[in-house]
Amino acid sequence: NAGVTQTPKFQVLKTGQSMTLQCAQDMNHNSMYWYRQDPGMGLRLIYYSASEGTTDKGEVPNGYNVSRLNKREFSLRLESAAPSQTSVYFCASSDGRGQYFGAGTRLSVL
């Protein structure tokens, strides 16, 4: 049982480059989330999807876009990466009784 799978695990970008972080869950959860984790800032919600076909902004959505491709997959896109987006990104899914997290993507923007 894989749970929540994120790819890639590590990525280095140059300023202005774009990339998509992939996330898939196999638990048949309706809700999915993207967070970023920065030292001293805790976890901050970027975007969430309450159900297939819907997405909404979280606390820090600027510079990001998301796509809920189907019930399993929820991707996060950086159109033009900036050094301020250097962070660890976590995808999570939920059945309403707790959130289940992927292992994270460590992104550096130079």
Interface ranges with another protein (CB under 8 A): 4, 31, 42-43, 48-50, 56, 90, 92, 94-104
- Cβ-contact 16, 81 below 8 angstroms: yes
- CB nearer another protein, residue 39 or residue 62: 39
- CB nearer another protein, residue 31 or residue 65: 31
CB of 55 to another protein, least distance (A): 11
List residues bridging with 43 in a β-sheet: 37
CB of 27 to another protein, least distance (A): 12
> What 3-state class would DSSP assign to 84?
helix
Query: Cα Rg for the chain, rounded, in angstroms?
Result: 13
- CB nearer another protein, residue 18 or residue 108: 108
CB of 2 to another protein, least distance (A): 13
- Cβ-contact 25, 72 below 8 angstroms: yes
What is the C-alpha separation between 40 and 67, in angstroms, rounded?
28
